Amino acid sequence: MVIRVRFPGISIGNSWPNIVNILGNHKPRLYHHIVQWKFPREGQLKCNTDGASKGNPGESAYGFCFKDKHGDLIYAQAKGIAIATNIEVEARAIQAALSISAKKGFQNLVIETDSMSLMKMILKTWRIPWKIAEILEYIIREVEQQQVTIKHIYREGNQMAYYLANLAIGQTEIQEYENFTE
């Protein structure tokens, strides 16, 4: 039954040797995508966020960066947060980015995260774990108030936030940057 659900296009029959033979010769379709960071549209800002956890839970940090329509850095932040799970630190990255966005009065913000799970929780298509419920309540409220768009991006397109998050592991101070030369 599982095979029929997983591979609906394959007629497998009922004998075990036949099933083994068919699945042994099965060649899955491979897909490829070109993954790169894309510039925000005119009038938009883009914020890429990432969390890093060395173990789950383990020593963790987050990083995020705001860029304008030309791809120029407006603001970036990274901070170590001691022991956390991967989903918790991803959520804290978005929470901190939304807090900075509100303080600086950023408008028309698009947040990109490489955590598909977290994006689905924010968009209310997945249940929220109790451990991050308070953080996600804040995120959902701010996303609605600030009219933020949340999108998924593959890790390869999220390299600056990934770099910032990994750089901050073990750091206790908030690291802030306002241009690429810092």
| CB-based burial label for 53 (10 Å; 0-12, 13-18, 19+) | buried
Which segments of the chain have a pLDDT < 70? 1-4, 7-13, 182
Distance CA 83, CA 60 (A): 6
27 and 78 share one domain:
no
User: Are 169 and 123 in a shared domain?
Assistant: yes
Task: Please name every residue paired with 50 in a beta bridge, in sequence order, or none if there are none.
Answer: 63
- Residue 66, pLDDT score: 98
Query: What is the CATH classification number for the domain harbouring 92?
Result: 3.30.420.10
Provide the domain limits for residue 5: 1-31
**pLDDT attached to residue 3:** 64
Domain assignment present for 36? no
**What is the end-to-end Cα distance of the chain in Å, rounded?**
58
Helix (H) or strand (E) holding 101: helix 86-104
Q: Does 143 lie in the same domain as 62?
A: yes
Domain-located, residue 38: no
Q: Residue 29: exposed, middle, or buried by beta-carbon count in 10 A (0-12, 13-18, 19+)?
A: exposed
- pTM comes to 0.83
Same domain, 19 and 105: no
Residue at 106 is within a domain:
yes
Asked if omega into 17 is within 30° of 0 (cis), the reply is: no
pLDDT for res 98 = 98
182 inside domain: no
